[in-house]
Structure 1
Amino acid sequence: MFKKLSLVALSTIIISCGSPSPNSSTKADFSVDYEKFELDNGLDVVFHVDRSDPVVAVALTAHVGSAREKEGRTGFAHLFEHLLFLESENLGKGGLDKLSARVGGSGANGSTSRDRTNYFQTVPNDALEKMIWAEADKLGWFINTVTDPVLAKEKQVVKNEKRQGVDNRPYGHTSYVIDKNLYPADHPYNWQVIGSLEDLQNATLADVKEFFNRWYVPNNVTLVVSGDFDVDQAKALVKKYFDEIPRGEEVAPLSPRSGVVENTIKLYHEDNFARLPELTLTWPTVEQYQADAYALDVLTQYLASGKKAPFYQVLVEDKKLTSRVSMYNRTSELAGQLHLSVRAYADTDLDDVQAAIGDAFAKFEAEGISQKDLDRIKAGQETGFYNSLSSVLGKGFQLAQYNIFANDPGYIQKDIEQILAVSTDDVMRVYNKYIKGKNYIATSFVPQGQLALALEGSDKAEVVEEAIVQGAEETFDASIQAEYERTPSSFDRTVEPPYGKAPEITVPKVYETSLSNGLKVYGIENDEVPLVQLNLVIDGGQLVESMDKLGVANLTADLMTKGTANKTPEELEEAIEQLGARINIFATKENIRVSANTLTKNYAATLDLIEEMLLEPRWDEKEFELAKQSTISQIRQQEANPNAIAANAYQILIYGKDDIRAQNTLGTMETVEQLTIADLKNYYANYISPSVAKLHVVGDISESDLVASLSELNTAWEAKAVQLPELSQPAAPSESKVYFYDVPNAKQSVLNIGYGAMPATDEDYYPATVMNYILGGGGFASQLTQELREGKGYTYGIRSNFSGNKADGTFTISSGVRTNVTLESTALVKEILADYGKNYSDQDLATTKGYLIKSNARAFETAGAKLSMLENISEFGWSPDYVKDREAIVRDMTVEEIQALSKKYLDPSKMIWLVVGDAKTQKARLKQLGFGEPVLINDMTGPEK
């Protein structure tokens, strides 16, 4: 359907985004240059040059996802995503992960969808040849290294990923139930991308090799290189490393094929982790880039997002059935599906929810969508588009997506044109065509024992629940080297390519100033994209709450987004969206934060709205009651979410139940219920002051223009004295103890292991962070990951880190592990901690230094990274070039210093060992850890301090 570009072609994508309204007078132009060529073996190569930072992003994307799998072998595409990181003939064990750590990369990563699998990372530009060498090894020199033990181990890792993301999560099986009923059994979207535990377990080595040889061939792959590099040199490198990989069997395109719902289907599931009933309705729609998909995107956003949305007005405001409604149109290569999901308040009958949905649709049918609302939605799409292109990797992703699914990297132009072409008539037309009066899938996910809340007439959904069986998994030794005949090459690929010219790292120029009202301002000018991002940090947050008013900071921040003295909540929201801006205000433990993201052309108008929200909150009583209901609903949901339970319980164990730092920032159901709007006004009056505030700005605006823009805020925002609490570092436990929170039938155990360590201002803080890199801070370079994931297959992921602020800090190891290896996992962590210092090697230090020094080339690439830099400067008083100071610490570090730090800060006998999981099968076993009888803490009071 699209012209195949087989010759070298240089193109420029010019984006003209903006409202198509006749009244629109401004358009934003933005260009993405690219060059595309094709090798003789069919490999598509796309280059994009961006000189803004000395980095390059390399992305290899195979046009294969779960849609290309066979029945009974689901999950193969995703399993492959994992396997390709482990080893190749020329990189050896650890493959790309070890290389990434040495060169200072962002961490090799990948993702799998129904239709494609990609592999990507961003590296300093002196490592470009190394990355091209490594990516070529995936295609031409990989498959021989996969052995039965390696496959057995990676099956366990993927199964743990499924448990973590699906089986052990509230409402996790929803997509499985929907897709099984939306698509016929022979449709490639009938199964989930991650596959089933049974299919994964049944995969054989022969299956793996067949899958690789069919789909991982150059003529089914796109390579994108984006960033700061020499095009001619990169072209020669791509040809050198990829040219001799043989072309594979031709891959025929799959034809679009919609889901089928011949009659409305109602299904229910009693969810072990849910505390609220949830209703999801799903309709079949159209595939990606089909014209109607754009109008469906607008339809879903208009119906459910924001205060003008019919669903918000009916279900949230009028009927008070829920705090929010989610609606989106998911498009894939072959088909689309539109989802409407309502997580109702506790004890709400979902038949009442469905009736209200009917009322909301009727309201839309009567009123339609106005041109003004359509323009508002398109303005947000424009800002979102620019944000997606704010990094070299983001641009690379977009170029690969268009090349594979539209056969044209320059399809961005057509994509935008179709977004802007949507009319109000189109929106109503697609509603009538795909939604009104059409059959759908209705799933009712309800808490255990509350089946009466499900839609009347629902049938039981078929959901496969894994039984917890001790010792059920096979044993393996993934370290066994594969024996094979090496794949030939025209040159010696075992020799790792050298580095290129070392990148010149330039620390962004930071400006600092203070306004007369006490507000401190920190900024970086950056004109890569026509955006301005800012965050305003007001110290205090939950720390200044009293124990009987827990949650007041959170609700105060929430209400500040719900209208102003001069604008109703609906008018404020519309004013923000009309600019295509995003403004958010929220509370953390330590501060109230105002964040904003806007097009440069709309910065002044966005700042006016921020000032209005900050200085003239409306204190809307109706919004206050809605916010309280929503917060209580969130607290209730956390009570059954193992990860939330672990986070909340760990804070109590660190600080003690009577310390404000141990409390949930949302508050408790009791304190939130008792809060009044007067409490919010009192908090605002006492603690929202420029005297304890810092503004950080990054983007396409000069220092002089920024300072001038703040004159009105300087005058109108009066300073007041704010007394912040004096906090101390909590004492570490004198001896280790195991604490267990029981979540019956949990498919994973969530681990939080650690203690109160030191604040970020401590002289040992950054050296300890350096020490932690090989332990658990370095991803796949870390011992915890190598032992528990790569060696044993116990977990999908495990990490350790030192986290601190000016007053205190913690050291934490966190993971979710397979339930039946809870003891084995914690015992292995204990062993690694005990041996870490004495086993630390010169090679470990070299890897650490290589990563922490070389990764500085990426330290300032994105606006988010620059904002974090400014916040560190303002919070801790560090110099603008503190990154260089840290680099000196790393360069001077010795193995002996690492060992001393390890002995001081990694004592496994003086830590909290928290486990959230299935007590009936795991609690008693944990006594073998050697820290006494595990303490059950389901009352959440924690120990006295």
Structure 2
Amino acid sequence: MPRNLTASLALLTALSIPALGLFGCDRSSTQSEPKPQTEATSKAPGQQEAKPDFAIDYQQFQLDNGLNVLFHIDRSDPVVAVSLTAHVGSAREKEGRTGFAHLFEHLLFLESENLGKGGLDAMSARIGGSGANGSTSRDVTNYYQTVPKDALEKMLWAEADKLGWFINTVTDPVLAKEKQVVKNEKRQAVDNRPYGHTQYVIDRNLYPEGHPYSWQVIGSLEDLDNATLDDVKTFFRHWYVPNNVTLVVAGDFDPKEARELVEKYFGEIPAGEPIERAPKQQVTLKETKRLYYEDNFARQPELTMAWPTVPRYSADTYPLAVLSEYLSDGKRAPLYRVLVEDEQLTANVSMGAYESELAGQMQLKVQAFSGGHLDAVYAGIQKAFGLFEKEGITEEDLERIKAGQEVAFYNSLSSVVGKGFQLAQYQIYADDPGYVTKDIERLLAVTQEDVKRVYDKYIKDKPYVATSFVPRGEKVLALSGSTAAQVVEEKIIEGAEAQFDASASAEYEKTPSKFDRSKEPAYGDPAETAVPDVWQDKLENGIKVYGIENSEVPTVTFSLVINGGMLQDSIDKTGVAGLTSMLMERGTKNRTPEELETAIQKLGASISVNAGQDSFRFDVTTLARNFDKVFALLQEMLLEPRWDEKELVLAKKSVTSQIKRSQAEPNAIAGKTFARLLHGKDSIRGYSGLGTEESVAAITMDDLKAYYNKALSPSVARAHVVGDIAQVDFMAAAAKLAEQWPAKPVTIPSPKSEPAKPGIYFVDVPDSKQSVLRIGRLAMPAVSDDYYPAVFTNYILGGGGFASRLMQQLREGKGYTYGIGSSVSGGKTQGRFAIASGVRANVTAESVQLINDILEQYAPTYTEADLENSRSYLVRANTRAFETARAKLGLLENMSEYGWPADYVREREAIAKAMTIPKVQKIAEEYMQPETMIWLVVGDRATQLDPLKALELGDVTLIDANEVAKPNN
């Protein structure tokens, strides 16, 4: 979970280069990664010779102690992002002492001398920040947050405390607790999910012993256990020094004032010893290595192949990026043509670069269908490579891919924190914050010859590492010639973890300063929330249109939302809506699937079709100058689907593969089981949108056509557009659609939910390293007068990330979990309150008891401070509410769905300001009492069921998740 389980390299990797997203560990359990925004225009696809008119403006200076500082001014929103990047990742560790860089990513949030215990998280909540977050990769560690612009000085004060006034606060109990948190992170990200150990096996065999990339960023549990307080303090004092750190401030601020504040808060921190850049350490494999592993959680065999390549920003990274996309992505890709379409061995293929500072690698992953032998997959890969060797890459495909990568780069810069990260990345990896122009130029300069050259140099007939991860007991499916991989499996033993009291205050001599740092700085000039100007209109066929014109970037984001979605499915044939959406992406009456995909990609656009529980939607992103052409393609997809029988076969195979994969994945099991318990067997809301193996097998093309004719109509549709397009231009482009798509009446079912009785329900997943918890009940819809007061009430309970009681007690106090949170969510007719977490297996009962106690005590112990913190956050956070195009689109969709005014955030601010302790207590007593809830535990029955029964919190019912997945039990 993000301080996060997803890889943070999306922020740290050259955004023009696809990254695998397998690595790096983020801290937060509640924050999603920020996605960056640009101020640039872009070139037309195919105009390779034109240099892109793009730059991220910045100012750069260095303090006397070596701190490198970068400023970027962006006044589009009243916010500022502050990021601190230390040039130290797992590559700077030593074998036997791994995981320290990542451990510090965690420790630096816990306490510092002047903020006190949990001070940064508490401050983040009060000031309306995005949540203090962090990430660790092989090469760097990041700390970042976006806040209202009037909180800039507070953030600089807090970030300086990390460097100069932190290390004394780390004690043995604090270290012991955080070790448990990191272990929980590893269990959740690696040990308790299918194929979780793949990267460990790849890296251990791709790199020689002792190479800094041969171990994982998160380190080993043994090394973490053995780490002493002296070890971690020595590591910090060497690497966390100003001359090894880059500070970036991006957003709406006065650079003269900001420089004075940076000098004030960071200037007196002493420099450390000079730190040399690590030398490049590229590797060459002398021979191919094939390894297999029997995976407890896998239901399908998976082959991963890896080849050594080059470090980030090397000349060959750019043609390698094009090569990997061309080989694997889309209908024209050789790997797709052979493995998916011709031989139907898999539902999809992925290939991408994992490029770091010292070395790089290319990885190819194919998950075969159940029972499929990986020898057949390997033969298919070789056949696809042979196709590429024979055909090469056409100029059309080259330009199509480069256009997509260029647009993806621009779209990735959608926030000030994203632009700030990009500046820091260029500074650290390329020694040039302004490298962005050269980055794009090198991408656009890639030729057909370059792509063929890097294939010959790094892939063709070159040694590789291949891992076969197969279901337990099915090693016969592994690639021939494979030997058993060495994987260290953790044993979860009752009572094995050390006890600690992380709440105890450390005793130390305070680090001196030239001024009193214990006093939190005041706010600057007030930051006012800027609500976008919204225009509204209506098409001739009745579709209401909501728009926001914004020329900050030359792009347009559009959604067409058709109410209904999965609600139009029948329980005895679930999955029709989802398959209909898949087929509508795969060709039109006059375009083959390949021709449609190519037409969209050549315009640097994307059009996706998805069926959700309550809606069927089309989502479009495009360069503004191509909007008319892209909208015409959308219209063609909507009005003239191809209904390709071959594509239906492939789509059904893909969905069936997903269903099988989810049958052993604890989080997926928890999700589908909780939905059934919450809604009952007679409500479509209690079923997966994927369907079941049986229902998908029975679905025919006539079912899809019937759904299309029954469910898709302008009478239940609404349109939303954000970007560099005027109202009159959008309405002109949409007029033809209105003419050709007449409205017809549509009835949307309103299924009645019948939840299971409150109590504890248990699903057995043998040998689980964690227990997955889902706790909750049905609640009010989003249009209820109680809805936003409930959101307010939930903030301190579990909606406020690290400021919440659930996180503070289960993670920070006990070390039981990597993350836990609660949420209030709702649609037009129904809502729910839910708590979600994964906890260490041997504290399952203790975690359930503690959550129960927190819920029981919440209303009686709610304080004035809790009230003020919630009010402050929920009002001040609105300064960040509309920063990105996607956020603006969300505003429009809320308006169209619920009938809310454009400035509904003002109404919410008024509700927040009017909340009182009695109002909070009333909401909590009505919707958040433990005895009214369903408690679902997915874990190891042999060790955890009896302790749960001993709690005497109600009936404990053992249920079969596979039976729950089927209709009419």
Shift of residue 799 of structure 1?
0.5
Shift of residue 911 of structure 1?
0.9
Are positions 1:687 and 2:711 aligned together?
yes
Contact 1:639 1:645 in 2 (8 A): yes
Distance 1:259 1:836 in 2: 56
For 2:654, which of 630, 634, 640 is the aligned residue? 630
Partner secondary structure for residue 592 of structure 1: strand
Are positions 1:109 and 2:133 aligned together?
yes
Aligned residue type for 2:673: A
1:565 matched to which residue of 2? 589
Aligned residue type for 1:873: M
Shift of residue 619 of structure 1?
0.5
Partner secondary structure for residue 342 of structure 1: strand
Distance 1:665 1:447 in 2: 25
2:338 matched to which residue of 1? 314
Shift of residue 201 of structure 1?
1.2
**1:180-231: per-residue Cα shift (whole Å, max 9, x none)?**
0001111000000011111111111101110110000000000000000001
Distance 2:649 2:333 in 1: 19
Are positions 1:931 and 2:953 aligned together?
yes
Shift of residue 658 of structure 1?
2.1
**1:420-446: per-residue Cα shift (whole Å, max 9, x none)?**
111100000000001111100010000
Aligned residue type for 2:716: V
Shift of residue 757 of structure 1?
1.4
For 1:830, which of 848, 852, 868 is the aligned residue? 852
Contact 1:54 1:505 in 2 (8 A): yes
Distance 1:20 1:775 in 2: 50
Shift of residue 21 of structure 1?
4.2
Unaligned stretches of 5+ in structure 2? Answer: 1-37
For 2:871, which of 849, 852, 864 is the aligned residue? 849
Aligned residue type for 2:901: S
Distance 1:520 1:21 in 2: 36
Contact 1:17 1:416 in 2 (8 A): no
Which sits farther off after the overlay, 510-519 or 81-90? Answer: 510-519
For 2:510, which of 460, 468, 486 is the aligned residue? 486
Q: Percent identity?
A: 61
Cα gap change, 1:240 to 1:315, in 2 (>3 Å): same
RMSD of Structure 2 on Structure 1 (CA): 1.5
2:550 matched to which residue of 1? 526
Shift of residue 32 of structure 1?
2.0
For 2:621, which of 588, 591, 597 is the aligned residue? 597
Partner secondary structure for residue 258 of structure 1: coil
For 2:57, which of 11, 19, 33 is the aligned residue? 33
Contact 1:19 1:378 in 2 (8 A): no
1:669 matched to which residue of 2? 693
TM-score, normalization: structure 1?
A: 0.97
Q: Number of matched residues? A: 930
Shift of residue 15 of structure 1?
6.3
2:43 matched to which residue of 1? 18
For 1:582, which of 575, 591, 606 is the aligned residue? 606
Contact 1:444 1:455 in 2 (8 A): yes
Aligned residue type for 2:177: K
Contact 1:761 1:806 in 2 (8 A): yes
Aligned residue type for 2:274: E
Cα gap change, 1:178 to 1:274, in 2 (>3 Å): same
Aligned residue type for 2:722: V
2:670 matched to which residue of 1? 646
Distance 1:733 1:153 in 2: 37
Distance 1:284 1:155 in 2: 32
Distance 2:224 2:635 in 1: 54
Distance 1:536 1:618 in 2: 20
Partner secondary structure for residue 56 of structure 1: strand
**1:292-348: per-residue Cα shift (whole Å, max 9, x none)?**
111111000000000000000011111110011110111100011000110011100
Are positions 1:885 and 2:907 aligned together?
yes
Are positions 1:917 and 2:917 aligned together?
no
Distance 2:313 2:723 in 1: 31
**1:3-59: per-residue Cα shift (whole Å, max 9, x none)?**
xxxxxxxxxx9967436846x798763442110001111000000000100000000
Are positions 1:188 and 2:215 aligned together?
no
1:876 matched to which residue of 2? 898
Contact 2:246 2:424 in 1 (8 A): yes
**Residues 198-209 of structure 1 mapped to structure 2, 5 A cutoff:** 198-209=222-233
Contact 1:652 1:941 in 2 (8 A): no
**1:874-932: per-residue Cα shift (whole Å, max 9, x none)?**
11111111100000000010111111111111111111010001110001110123234
Aligned residue type for 1:827: Q
Contact 1:543 1:660 in 2 (8 A): yes
Which sits farther off after the overlay, 24-33 or 141-150? Answer: 24-33
Distance 1:635 1:603 in 2: 36
Partner secondary structure for residue 789 of structure 1: helix
Aligned residue type for 2:205: N
Are positions 1:742 and 2:767 aligned together?
no
**1:90-141: per-residue Cα shift (whole Å, max 9, x none)?**
0111021111001000001010000000000100000000001001000000
Distance 1:673 1:924 in 2: 39
**Residues 461-480 of structure 1 mapped to structure 2, 5 A cutoff:** 461-480=485-504
Are positions 1:436 and 2:438 aligned together?
no
Aligned residue type for 1:166: V
Shift of residue 534 of structure 1?
1.2
2:67 matched to which residue of 1? 43
TM-score, normalization: structure 2?
A: 0.95
2:473 matched to which residue of 1? 449
1:788 matched to which residue of 2? 810
Are positions 1:56 and 2:80 aligned together?
yes
Partner secondary structure for residue 572 of structure 2: helix
Partner secondary structure for residue 59 of structure 2: strand
Are positions 1:334 and 2:358 aligned together?
yes
Shift of residue 939 of structure 1?
4.8
Contact 2:97 2:227 in 1 (8 A): yes
Distance 2:242 2:552 in 1: 33
Distance 2:924 2:756 in 1: 17
Are positions 1:798 and 2:820 aligned together?
yes
Cα gap change, 1:14 to 1:725, in 2 (>3 Å): closer
2:25 matched to which residue of 1? none
Contact 1:264 1:440 in 2 (8 A): yes
2:393 matched to which residue of 1? 369
Contact 2:782 2:831 in 1 (8 A): yes
Contact 1:376 1:574 in 2 (8 A): yes
Distance 2:453 2:526 in 1: 57
Are positions 1:268 and 2:288 aligned together?
no
Distance 1:713 1:471 in 2: 65
Aligned residue type for 2:69: V
Contact 2:45 2:400 in 1 (8 A): no
Aligned residue type for 2:409: F
Are positions 1:860 and 2:885 aligned together?
no
Aligned residue type for 1:791: G
Unaligned stretches of 5+ in structure 1? Answer: 1-12
Distance 1:636 1:519 in 2: 39
Shift of residue 258 of structure 1?
1.5
1:8 matched to which residue of 2? none
2:841 matched to which residue of 1? 819
2:203 matched to which residue of 1? 179
Contact 2:537 2:544 in 1 (8 A): yes
For 1:122, which of 146, 153, 171 is the aligned residue? 146
Shift of residue 596 of structure 1?
1.1
Contact 2:45 2:604 in 1 (8 A): no
Partner secondary structure for residue 276 of structure 2: coil
Are positions 1:717 and 2:729 aligned together?
no
**1:244-303: per-residue Cα shift (whole Å, max 9, x none)?**
000101111111111332110000000011100000110000000100111111000000
Segments of 4+ in structure 1 off by > 3 A?
Answer: 13-22, 24-31, 730-734, 939-945
